[in-house]
Chain A
Amino acid sequence: MIEKNVSYNSFQKKIVPYLDGSLSKEETAEFEAFVLTHPEFEAKIKEKRDELETIRAMIPAGLLTKESQESMESEMRTSIYNLIKEEPRGFMDTVRIKWEDFLNN
């Protein structure tokens, strides 16, 4: 009986790490096997899962307006053209790269 309680408690402590993804592969497999053999454990997992959902709701989800997204992507494009050097593969490629540089500067 004591042994059963010890194992029950140790698995209970692993619920959050399991939901967090911080258990190792072996521990995850062991935990899932334990849950399969102890269906009543599901309720405890659900309780913790709800708690984590509450936490998720407390984290802001910043949304971009369409204009801001366009302006940000345009800045990203400019950065790429300014900071990345493309190696030309032949004459036509050199012309293309020069033309793109001209358009983006």
Chain B
Amino acid sequence: MKRKDLFHLVAPLSERLYRFAFGLIPDDLQAEQLVIDGFNAYLLKEGKILSKKEIDLNSKKEVQLFRRAAFKGILRHVGDIGVRRSLQLTEQMRLTVPKDFVPYYSLEPKVRMVMGLRYDAQFTVDEIEEITLMPRYEVIEKIHNGRFLLLNDLNKAVNA
């Protein structure tokens, strides 16, 4: 695959990647950097395969399939780096968390990652398992915990 073709295939993913990264780190610059770092890690891991891959750019189906697979591959690295970085930046993040989303950012980074993949990016549990490499029971547990904690927080706010 030509490099310019690869760029045209992955560039439209930038917005959704940023959205996912922002769910992990609520800071514009940090989230942008996270996307770039995740993308670089993906290229380093998959570079050889990508350079040998042939895609018929006129085939909508092939393009869609490639883009979906690349999206998941990049998300894996963005998520992995993002969770670690989010743990390191806990103190700094307190200053940048948007007021309306304090309950969300008070969830554990791994729970946020899974919740973002499930409810924002709308991946199925099977796909989340594939992206995060977590066992299925852990994915389901994190979704359940995240949902419970958010609703609990909402109920507290309503009753206060």
A residues neighboring B (CB under 8 Å): 16-17, 20-22, 51-52, 54-56, 58-64, 68-69, 71-73, 75-77, 79-81, 83-87, 100
Contacts and interface: CB of A to CB of B under 8 A. Distances in A.
Interface residues of B, number: 48
Contacts, number: 113
B104 A59 contact: yes
Interface of B: 2-4, 6-7, 10-11, 14-15, 18-19, 21-23, 26, 28, 31-32, 35-36, 39-40, 43-44, 47, 50-52, 98, 100-101, 103-104, 115-116, 118-120, 124-126, 140, 143, 146-147, 150-151, 154
A79 to B, nearest CB: 5
A21 B125 CA distance: 6
B14 A64 contact: yes
B104 A77 contact: no
Contact of A84 (B3, B118, B120): B3
A21 B114 CA distance: 13
B7 A77 contact: yes
Contacts of A77: 7, 11
A51 B146 CA distance: 13
Contacts of B35: 72
